[in-house]
Amino acid sequence: MTSGHKTLTAFLTVIGALLIVIVGLCVEWPLWAWPTSAAVLAAIAVVAVKAADRRRSPFSQELMLEPDLPIPPLERREQRITDVALPSDTDDYDFIFSATVRWWPAEDAPADAPLVNAGSLAIDAVLNRAREITARKSPGRSTLAQYQLNGELGTMLPDPTGRVFAMAENVLLTLSDQDQERLAKLSAVRKDEAVWEHERKYEQSRRAYLGGDVLRNTGSAVVWWLAKNDDKVDKTVADLGLLAQLSSAANNQDVPERFRHLVPHPVPEWGEPVTGQSEEYEAAGEDYMEFPDGTSGDTPGDPSAADRFDEMLNAMGFDEDDPRRSLFAQRVARAADAADQHGTAEEIRQRFDAPRTPDDGAGPSFGPPDEPPIL
């Protein structure tokens, strides 16, 4: 009997004695009843002690003699895999896959089935499922593909052999730093190319609009200029000569006869210097048509190619002090040389003060060395 049981028995005995005393005093027992009550109370206490001693332990004494056996370790049914290369929809750009693979053995496996490594079967099944998904994903969308993999691989499915059920969690899908940098560069180039293509189409559209519509002839140029100047008729009338020159130059034609008197700088007669040109040209007189090879650009009385080029420069707004005038003349002279019009090229150089610079002997060269020739 334990000490706890003994204490409880003594406590109950004292309580019983007190109750007997209280009852005896209340009912005024005779003197002989007191010893009898005490004897009964003592007998009850002895019986309670003996009954507590006979109570058996819930565990068998044979079991209490055996030592505690160790608890077998639990089978670990998960494994972390890291840095596995999976293909994307772009050659040479692989995803880097990491995840925690969990598995559960199939309960309906045959009794005579050979033993297998369930973890390896589960990892192989998860990788096959992940490869089918990533092979259809763009490497530039690795974050989106990662969330899709978390959803697709989050379900326990049997492997192809039917021996285990496998799933994956904590999926991480990334690209290498080098591939990320390459994709960023390719994206920037594609964007710049798209902008350049839009700008080129815009420029082509403007040229087609100006050349094929606005400057198709003098009349269409006048209507366009009238609309641009808010219906200012007086300004449009004052600019008729310039518009005639501009539309004629745009179509590579002479100014129509009915508009020549409106041209700000009329075409001079053969041998007359053009007003407003350089002093060297005004002093040249009729000699400005003579080239070093002894040829001339046009027959006497007709405007030369340089005369028409001068009209175009004036119509374009290139004044005598404008540095673009000389640069433009250099380029036109070079283009004339490329077209075997050496006489015209030499006339443009002499007349518009475009100095000739030496090069490799294939002809005059102007402008920056890396500038492509104008053909």
Do residues 245 and 138 both lie within one domain?
A: no
> Which residues are CB-neighbours of 88 under 8 A, at least 6 positions away?
94, 95, 134, 135, 137, 138, 139
Domain containing residue 285: 218-351
In this predicted structure, what is the pLDDT of residue 255?
81
Do residues 244 and 347 both lie within one domain?
A: yes
Do residues 248 and 324 both lie within one domain?
A: yes
* Domain total in the chain: 3
CA–CA distance, 159 with 120 (Å, rounded to integer):
11
Residue 48 lies in a domain: yes
Residue 369 lies in a domain: no
Domain final position from 152, 180, 208: 180
Residue 205 structure tokens:
């559209």
Which pTM was predicted? 0.44
| 96 three-state secondary structure | strand
Residue 257 lies in a domain: yes
In this predicted structure, what is the pLDDT of residue 127?
95
Do residues 306 and 261 both lie within one domain?
A: yes
Contact 334, 326 (CB under 8 A): no
In this predicted structure, what is the pLDDT of residue 185?
92
Do residues 227 and 337 both lie within one domain?
A: yes
Residue 360 lies in a domain: no
C-alpha distance from residue 115 to each of 110, 118, 121, 159, 217 (Å): 11, 9, 12, 15, 93
Do residues 339 and 240 both lie within one domain?
A: yes
Q: Where are the alpha helices (DSSP H) in 28-117?
A: 33-54, 61-65
* Closest-CA residue to 307 (of 277, 327, 337, 341): 277
Residue 291 structure tokens:
């080239």
pLDDT in tens, the chain (375 residues): 555 556 666 666 667 776 777 776 777 767 777 777 777 777 777 766 666 655 555 556 565 666 666 776 666 788 999 999 999 999 999 999 999 999 988 877 666 667 788 889 999 999 999 999 999 999 988 999 999 999 999 999 998 888 899 999 999 999 999 999 999 999 999 999 999 999 999 988 888 888 888 888 888 888 888 888 877 777 777 778 888 888 888 888 888 877 777 776 555 544 444 444 444 444 444 444 444 444 444 444 567 788 888 888 888 777 777 778 788 888 888 888 877 788 888 888 887 764 444 443 444 443 444 444 433
In this predicted structure, what is the pLDDT of residue 115?
78
Contact 169, 100 (CB under 8 A): yes
CATH code of the domain in which 83 resides? 3.30.479
Residue 132 lies in a domain: yes
In this predicted structure, what is the pLDDT of residue 300?
46
Do residues 254 and 314 both lie within one domain?
A: yes
In this predicted structure, what is the pLDDT of residue 51?
65
CA–CA distance, 329 with 367 (Å, rounded to integer):
11
Do residues 236 and 319 both lie within one domain?
A: yes
Residue 330 lies in a domain: yes
| 185 three-state secondary structure | helix
Do residues 250 and 327 both lie within one domain?
A: yes
